[in-house]
Amino acid sequence: MHQLTLAEIARGLADKKFSSEELTKVLLARIAQLDPQLNSFISLTEDLALQQAKAADARRANGESGALLGAPIAHKDLFCTQGIRTSCGSKMLDNFKAPYDATVVAKLAAAGAVTLGKTNMDEFAMGSANESSYYGAVKNPWNLEHVPGGSSGGSAAAVAARLLPAATATDTGGSIRQPAAFTNLTGLKPTYGRVSRWGMIAYASSLDQGGPLARTAEDCAILLQGMAGFDANDSTSIDEPVPDYSASLNESLKGLRIGVPKEYFSAGLDPRIAELIHSSIKELEKLGAVIKEISLPNMQHAIPAYYVIAPAEASSNLSRFDGVRFGHRCEDPKNLEDLYKRSRGEGFGPEVQRRIMVGAYALSAGYYDAYYLKAQKIRRLVKNDFMAAFNEVDIILGPTTPNPAWKLGAKNSDPVAAYLEDVYTITANLAGLPGLSMPAGFVDGLPVGVQLLAPYFQEGRLLNVAHQYQLNTDWHTRTPTGF
């Protein structure tokens, strides 16, 4: 049963081949057996899962149906879940139990999804390797000595190891797409504002976006359907109708214009990944797509702009964690200043402290214009590049990452080297565009992803292209040895 996709589970439940309770018990046992070597979960919610599974079976017995009714999933541990620890991978929130459900959690629960637990992540979603978690690094099921990508590495590792069919994740600069590429999954970052951020603990509010991680585009369509939609509680949520994402999966790609930016194939890209990307392009050409070279001239400025904007927003967002209201509080503070300093010093890990310091510096009176304001101007130039490109093409294609997953600890002493791995993904966050990564092959036994970008609210088109590609390739069906 653990090999079934979300779509296959929906059909199996509808045909009464098994119950949600049976499936949930199988997956919980599998997590207990295999997760100790992966460390992909922070919290398991066995009692809640079995309760939700029984309720889903009862709803089906009463004639209800739905693709997510009785389907087991997990949530990245920054989505607030009522009465359950929501830690954000940090000591700061190790003792925090959310008093309410995030909108994404509530919507998926209403659709009948079964929550198996909360997945491990980089602390406060800051990282590209899932090594900055207070609960320890997550390991890549394709090679346990390598990283699974971050910050949604727990969700990615759990789905890739067949511990569950799909999971929620978030993407601030590539944190859905990069782990998807590193673990042979399909991951989708929706348009900014498409999925509610209410109850999703913020890293960088103008960049964060929740989305699905699954093995196939078809499964991502099912999960996104349950997550997307306007939310009056979220001032950045956009009131735009949500289409039926599954309905457009089988549309023809004949005449689809795919742009390939020349800037993507620079010296920083592993030539073996470049070869796999060109193979993907040929596959899509066979399906009727038309390929055109385009240019994104300001892409080279994206990383420095992002690593000013994101830490600046983080330093503002994380100022609420001060040891006074909730979260970690130091022992026996001498005075208020001591309470603030020691609570934050003990509660935040090194990567989070680094980004808070960078962000506070960029926002300081003497440097605001020199750094933050300039970065926002670059952000507009990046967006303008995309708008110009989408006048010529329907989709933009390229690598998701410049290299395959690196070894655990390999970039710990050089954070900038890890930041550079986001070069292809962060532009979509700066511009607010939807992006998808799908499996495209292997280098040295490690998975590689191809990235697709589309105009605003064109998630259906991304899923359609990925689904048609997956009908004609088998990369996404490969399973890591031992899982």
What's the pLDDT at 181? Answer: 98
Instruction: Judge whether residue 119 has pLDDT over 90.
Output: yes
Does residue 267 register a pLDDT over 90? Answer: no
Query: What is the identity of the amino acid at 183?
Result: T
pLDDT by residue (tens digit) across 72-106? 999 999 999 999 999 999 999 999 999 999 999 99
Q: How many CB atoms lie within 10 A of CB 332?
A: 7
Model confidence pLDDT, tens digit, residues 353-399: 999 999 999 999 888 988 999 999 999 999 999 999 999 999 999 99
Residues of the chain with pLDDT > 70: what percent? Answer: 100
Q: Which two tokens stand for residue 341?
A: 């300093």
Distances (CA, A) of 301 to 136, 227, 236, 319: 33, 32, 26, 28
Quote the pLDDT of residue 136: 96
> What is the pTM for the complete model shown?
0.96
Least confident of 19-23, 24-28, 418-422, 461-465: 418-422
Q: So what's the pLDDT on residue 266?
A: 84
Helices (H), 15-79: 20-34, 46-61
CB-based contacts of 300: which residues, under 8 Å, 6+ apart? Answer: 263
What mean pLDDT value characterizes the chain?
A: 96
Question: Given the DSSP bridges, would you call strands 257-261 and 290-294 parallel, antiparallel or unpaired?
Answer: parallel
The token pair at 20 is 């949600």
Which helix (H) or strand (E) element contains residue 105?
A: helix 103-110
- Asked if residue 416 has pLDDT above 90, the reply is no
Contacts 24+ apart (CB under 8 A), 364-371: 371/308
Active-site amino acid positions: 76, 151, 175
SS3 349: coil
123-152 pLDDT, tens digit each: 999 999 999 999 999 999 999 999 999 999
CA angle 140, 144, 147 (to 5 degrees): 45
Predicted local distance difference test score (pLDDT) of residue 419: 87
- The conformation of residue 405, written as its DSSP 8-state character, comes to P
Cis peptide leading into residue 151 (ω within 30°): yes
The answer to whether 3 and 215 have CB atoms below 8 angstroms apart is: no
Domain 6-254: state its class: alpha beta
User: Would you say 163 and 37 are in contact if contact means Cβ atoms under 8 Å apart?
Assistant: no
* Confidence label for 415 from pLDDT (cuts 50, 70 and 90): confident
Helix, strand or coil for residue 115? strand
Residues with Cβ within 8 Å of residue 405, at least 6 apart in sequence: 140, 142, 143, 146, 147, 148, 149, 182, 183, 446, 447
Report the pLDDT averaged over residues 395-424: 92
- pLDDT tens digits along 234-255: 999 999 999 999 999 999 999 9
pLDDT at 152 (0 to 100): 97
CA pair distance 230, 238, nearest whole angstrom: 6
